[in-house]
């Protein structure tokens, strides 16, 4: 085909979100060649439109090694990507609305003791004293002082820019519509514009990762979901912590300009790419916000939004090598909690490419978990596949 550019590189990455971009950056630091293909703009999907919580507290213990690794990256964010992305270790406070919630927060502290999260349980009386702005539903909670928040609109694209500065070739608005393995390496095509050949492939396409995994014989129950976000006009600064609620529901934080960013509930898809906040979810979010922070009662919502993220039924990502295809590594399905661990997931993927193993335990995220029942059957191979897969 005339006009089609052909590139040969060491690693092709599908998806320029925070996972793909940080993998690209880490690979470049190892001196490995990288091409990133992004269907839209880097960091413009769930990596760029999420709530912006940078939180370890509340994660499954299996994620904590990864979260700790990420915590170190966040601590050096400016050196790593050239901007602080409004990252603040403002504290993440998880609210208990009942004694049972409080007990469960206490259990979490015990469970996570090996990970140095520095969790501090705060009783109702002390909470009133410390933050009179909290509504009366909170009977206490757990503070992780070193957790915090950042601006995903800025951080996620900055990872891609940093990777590019480090020598990664990034192609935005290049949707991958063909992926195959010719027995020696991977071949990716983006329309008539670009063809990429590489011995290694990273599947970091977020909610759009499913078809790639499926093409290589690894269909997983990845579903799209659409979180609802809202932001208020700026109000006088009253809150440093990023707030969450034990058992889920609303979460919110106040940014330096004074706006409150709130999340909770589900939106709906407009099409394969776009989503919007749902009316009833906005109403529920508003009611919860006023209950949690009565001072917000007269503030205005100025904008709501949603995005598309990839969810797996156990809310754990798939992170690790393919079970069918050497050279293929997956990093997707972060189920609405990928922003904080994304940079570490990227480093892990880079290690997997270079060393075949990761220095951070990732067994819990193996794609094998979806094929346990079929474990005794021979894994399908893709070495001879040349047909066109469903466009991811």
Partner 1 sequence: MTAASSSALQPVIVGAGPAGVRAAEALVAHGLRPVVIDEASRAGGQIYRRPPASLAERSANVLYGFEARRADAVHTAFDALRERIDYRPDSLVWNAQGGRLDVLHGPTRSTSSVPYGQLIVATGATDRVLPVPGWTLPGVYTLGGAQVALKFQGCAIGQRVVFMGTGPLLYLVAYQYAKAGAKVAAVLDTSRFADQLAATPAMLRQPAVFAKGVYYVAWLRAHGVALHGGVRPLRVLGDVAESRVAGVAWHDGREEHTLACDAVGFGYALRSETQLADLLGCRFEFAPLHRAHLPVRDAAGRSSVRGVYLAGDGAGIMGADAAEWAGERAALALLADSGVAVDTARAAMLEGKLHKLGAFRQGLERAFPVPHDWAAHAPDELVVCRCENITAGTLRRTVAEQGADEMNRLKALSRVGMGRCQGRMCGVAAAEILAHATGQPVQQVGRLRGQAPIKPIPIHLATTAPSTEGAGA
Looking at beta carbons only, is 103 or 270 nearer to partner 1? Answer: 270
Looking at beta carbons only, is 70 or 286 nearer to partner 1? Answer: 286
Looking at beta carbons only, is 157 or 310 nearer to partner 1? Answer: 157
Pull the structure tokens for residue 361.
Answer: 């335990």
Q: Which of 315, 291, 205 is nearest to 243 (CA)?
A: 291
Q: How far apart are CA 6 and CA 24, in angstroms?
A: 19
Stretch of 182-190, 200-208, 242-250, 300-308 contacting partner 1, by CB under 8 A: 300-308
255 touching partner 1, by CB under 8 A? no
Q: In what helix (H) or strand (E) does residue 110 lie, and over which residues does it extend?
A: helix 99-111
Q: Which of 156, 181, 183 is nearest to 170 (CA)?
A: 156
Stretch of 18-26, 138-146, 290-298, 370-378 contacting partner 1, by CB under 8 A: 290-298
DSSP 8-state assignment for residue 321: E
Q: Do residues 347 and 73 make contact, with C-beta atoms less than 8 angstroms apart?
A: yes
Stretch of 3-11, 204-212, 287-295, 322-330 contacting partner 1, by CB under 8 A: 287-295
**Minimum distance from residue 255 beta carbon to partner 1 (Å):** 11
Q: Considering CB under 8 A, how many residues would be counted as binding partner 1?
A: 34
Q: How far apart are CA 274 and CA 181, in angstroms?
A: 30
Query: Quick one: how far is CA 321 from the chain centroid?
Result: 18
Fill in the per-residue mask, 133 to 162: x = in contact with partner 1 (CB under 8 A), - = not in contact: --------------------xx--xx--x-
Q: How far apart are CA 309 and CA 45, in angstroms?
A: 8
DSSP 8-state assignment for residue 79: H
Residue of 100, 103, 219, 287 that binds partner 1 (CB under 8 A): 287
Q: What angle do CA 120, 92, 48 make, to 5 degrees?
A: 160
Residue of 304, 308, 316, 340 that binds partner 1 (CB under 8 A): 304
Stretch of 104-112, 114-122, 275-283, 363-371 contacting partner 1, by CB under 8 A: 275-283
277 touching partner 1, by CB under 8 A? yes
279 touching partner 1, by CB under 8 A? yes
Q: How far apart are CA 74 and CA 71, in angstroms?
A: 5
**Longest alpha-carbon distance in the chain:** 72
**Minimum distance from residue 30 beta carbon to partner 1 (Å):** 25
Q: Do residues 120 and 63 make contact, with C-beta atoms less than 8 angstroms apart?
A: no
Cβ neighbours around 17 below 10 Å, total? 33
289 touching partner 1, by CB under 8 A? yes
Fill in the per-residue mask, 216 to 235: x = in contact with partner 1 (CB under 8 A), - = not in contact: ----------------xx--
What are the backbone angles phi and psi of residue 296, rounded to the nearest 5°? -80, -10
Stretch of 23-31, 292-300, 337-345, 375-383 contacting partner 1, by CB under 8 A: 292-300
Looking at beta carbons only, is 251 or 329 nearer to partner 1? Answer: 251
Residues near partner 1 (CB under 8 A):
41, 44, 48, 153-154, 157-158, 161, 232-233, 257, 270, 274, 276-280, 282-283, 286-287, 289-290, 296-305
């Amino acid at each position: 085909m005339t006009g089609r550019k052909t590139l040969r590189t060491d690693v092709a990455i599908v998806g320029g979100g925070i996972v793909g971009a940080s993998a690209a950056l880490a690979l470049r630091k190892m001196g490995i060649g990288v091409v990133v293909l992004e269907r839209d703009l880097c960091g413009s999907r769930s990596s760029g439109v999420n709530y912006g919580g940078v939180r370890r507290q509340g994660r499954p213990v299996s994620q904590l090694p990864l979260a700790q690794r990420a915590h170190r990256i966040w601590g050096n964010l400016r050196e790593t990507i050239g901007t602080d992305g409004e990252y603040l270790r403002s504290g993440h406070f998880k609210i208990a609305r009942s004694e049972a919630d409080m007990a469960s927060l206490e259990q979490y502290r015990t469970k996570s003791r090996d990970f140095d999260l520095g969790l501090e349980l705060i009783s109702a009386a002390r909470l009133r004293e410390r933050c009179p702005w909290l509504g009366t539903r909170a009977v206490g909670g757990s503070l992780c002082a070193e957790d915090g928040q950042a601006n995903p609109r800025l951080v996620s694209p900055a990872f891609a820019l940093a990777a590019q500065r480090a020598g990664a070739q990034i192609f935005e608005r290049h949707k991958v519509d063909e992926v195959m393995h010719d027995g020696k390496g991977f071949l990716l095509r983006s329309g008539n514009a670009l063809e990429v050949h590489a011995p290694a492939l990273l599947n970091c396409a977020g909610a759009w990762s499913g078809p790639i995994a499926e093409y290589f014989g690894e269909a997983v129950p990845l579903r799209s979901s659409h979180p609802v976000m809202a932001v208020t006009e700026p109000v006088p600064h009253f809150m440093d912590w990023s707030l969450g609620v034990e058992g889920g529901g609303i979460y919110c934080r106040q940014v330096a300009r004074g706006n409150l960013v709130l999340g909770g509930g589900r939106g709906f898809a407009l099409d394969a790419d776009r989503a919007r906040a749902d009316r009833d979810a906005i109403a529920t979010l508003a009611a919860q916000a006023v209950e949690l922070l009565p001072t917000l009662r007269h503030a205005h919502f100025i904008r709501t939004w949603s995005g598309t993220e990839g969810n797996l039924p156990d809310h754990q990502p798939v992170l690790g090598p393919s079970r069918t295809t050497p050279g293929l590594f997956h990093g997707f399905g972060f189920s609405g909690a990928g922003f904080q661990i994304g940079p570490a997931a990227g480093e892990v993927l880079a290690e997997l490419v270079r060393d075949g193993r990761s220095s951070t335990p990732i067994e819990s995220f193996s794609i094998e978990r979806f094929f346990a029942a079929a474990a005794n059957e021979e894994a399908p191979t893709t070495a001879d596949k040349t047909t066109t897969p469903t466009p991811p």
